A and B are shown apart, each in its own frame.
Chain A
Amino acid sequence: MANKLEFRQFWQQVMALTSANMRSRYRNTIAGFLWVVLNPLIMYSVQSFVFRKFLKIEVPNYSLFLLCGLLPWIFVVMSIDMITPVLDSSRELLKSFNISPFVLALAQVFDNFINFLFAFFLVLIPTWGMSDLSFTGIFFIPLALIFLVSGVIGMCFLLSVMQIFFKDVRFITSFVINILFFMTPIFYPVEYVPAEYRFLISYNPIFAMIEPFRYCIYDYDFNVLVFKLFKSGVVSVSFVAIAIIFWKRKRNEFFIKL
């Protein structure tokens, strides 16, 4: 097929658009970029204060415990929020040039992922360093990050394509995310959930991709971590596979519906 791009050319488009997205979002200001770190910090500070002081959650090293779940959660939620409408708002662009919708979605995920990595290394790693917890799990973090970002790419691309077909996907997703926040053990340990309700946690795909970070950083145990990474990998591959199958089946209808 003469019109198909090589991976290098596709990658150059993604990188150019990611960089342009970031310039547009922060308008080349330091204050804009500082918000990337300040946003999760403020979220973390408020939640940490409320759950420790008001709800009296007694978890050792609660700050670190909360950060391990909260930062990946913010990445997932912000990605869903930003990427679900991205193809819908780029209808004219997609109709005008032969641009892959995947480039548009991927550039937004990478924009968010770079922000997440900055927050991760500027906030979480120093907090980890100040604790007396083992650093052994750090070697597994790249794998947890790969599974997380791959799963988010698959999930967000799927949602952004669905948004073209159903105009309320964005609102339904937002509603589901609000419910999931309370059903996902981010600000409370999974052990707080009574055994008869644990299945709700086991079937939560977002938590499956977030959980390995907790076992890398806060509660390192090699055997448990390997299992959690495996589960995260399965969820991530499933999201990517579903997105690819959905796209292949709906590609023509997608461009006609634009």
Chain B
Amino acid sequence: MNSLSNSDLILNIEDLHMTFDAELFKTVSLKDRFVRTLTLQGKQVSALHVLKGLNLKLEQGDKIGILGVNGSGKTTLCRLIAGILVPTSGSIALNGECRSIFNTTIGVIPELTGRENAALLVKFIFPRESLAVQAQLLEDALDFSELNEFLDIPFQNYSKGMQARICLSVISAKECDLLILDEVFDGADLFFQEKMRIRISDIIERSGATILVSHSLDQIRSVCNKVLVLDAGKIQFFGDVEKGIKAYRFLDNGLASFRGEL
């Protein structure tokens, strides 16, 4: 991953391709592999081309909602930007720090208490902050979660809603240059969802740029100022929110008819 010189440009993706071998999902044990070798079954190369030549620029203040059917490459794209995956070819240049979250009901060590898990999450989500700032972020997140006396019971005994409260409170404790939220709004109860929506909106406003993956069109409308529609590994639309949502709805009927409407 490279860095950028233009200070307004947060992310620059050029000709991004991501391919992996479909065989990965076939051999599940060494025993299988051994039998296949013995029976001279050669390796069949069947590449899955998940992302096909993507180009994308994000600037300061961009709030992008990514829409696409399951398997269109949304999460793969987010993982590539977050630096978890390495592209097969092409380049991803990032200006600043990227923070990404893909699930909000997960404990680092579920046997430990909510408080201890929150402390570990702070270490993993804000590793670059000083110990004093990490302690402050933890205190703020625990206060915001309003779990009070429940903080000292094991995380594994929490309901999904309580687990989401811990994770979301930590995630939303501090802004960053590029924030990636992949279907993370679900889980918390209604009252807390509203409280969290306000806090996350505030963090998004203060962050450089945001990428939000969600199937909720209302969330996309309320948070984003641009929409990117992915289909079969290609960007089918990038721009205005309402037009993007329309393009997404046309995926079933074929984008050609949508382009006709435009």
Instruction: Write the residues of chain A forming the contact surface with B, with a CB cutoff of 8 angstroms.
Output: 1-6, 9-10, 12-13, 16-17, 20-21, 23-24, 92-93, 95-99, 165-169, 172, 251-253, 255-257
Contact = CB atoms under 8 A, between A and B. Distances in A.
A9 B112 CA distance: 23
Given A2-B97, A16-B120, A16-B123, A98 B83 contact: yes
B85 A252 contact: yes
Contacts of A5: 127-128
A98 B84 contact: yes
Interface string B65-102: 00000000000000100111110100000111111111
A167 B28 contact: yes
Contacts of B108: 17, 20, 93
A172 B24 CA distance: 20
Given A24-B111, A251-B86, A99 B124 contact: yes
A255 B85 contact: yes
A42 B82 CA distance: 48
16 contacts: A1-B1, A2-B3, A3-B1, A6-B128, A17-B120, A17-B123, A93-B106, A98-B83, A98-B84, A165-B24, A166-B33, A167-B29, A253-B20, A255-B85, A257-B24, A257-B25
Contacts of B33: 166
A98 B82 contact: yes
B159 to A, nearest CB: 17
A169 B29 CA distance: 8
Contacts of A172: 30
B119 interface: yes
Interface residues of B, number: 47
B116 interface: yes
B255 interface: no
A205 B177 CA distance: 47
Interface string B113-137: 0001001110111011001000000
B201 to A, nearest CB: 22
B102 A97 contact: yes
Contacts of B55: none
Contacts of B101: 96-97
Nearest to B131: A12
B109 A255 contact: no
B31 interface: yes
Contacts of A1: 1-3, 83
Contact of A98 (B86, B88, B100): B100
Contacts of A9: 127-128
Given A2-B96, A2-B97, A3-B1, 14 more contacts: A1-B2, A1-B83, A2-B94, A5-B127, A10-B127, A16-B123, A17-B123, A24-B111, A96-B106, A98-B99, A166-B28, A166-B29, A252-B20, A256-B20
A95 B112 CA distance: 20
B82 A3 contact: yes
Interface string B9-30: 0000000000011001101111
A228 to B, nearest CB: 32
Contact of B109 (A2, A24, A98): A24
A97 B123 CA distance: 11
A93 B106 CA distance: 6
A92 B99 CA distance: 17
Contacts of A257: 24-25
A93 B109 CA distance: 9
Given A17-B120, A24-B111, A92 B82 contact: no
A97 B125 contact: yes
B60 interface: no
B103 interface: yes
Contacts of A96: 101-104, 106
B127 A12 contact: yes
Which residue, of B24, B99, B116, B124, has the highest number of chain A Cβ atoms within 10 A? B124
Given A252-B86, A255-B84, A2 B98 contact: yes
A109 B101 CA distance: 27
A167 B28 CA distance: 6
A95 B2 CA distance: 23
Contacts of B25: 257
B137 to A, nearest CB: 14
Given A12-B127, A17-B108, A95-B103, A3 B98 contact: yes
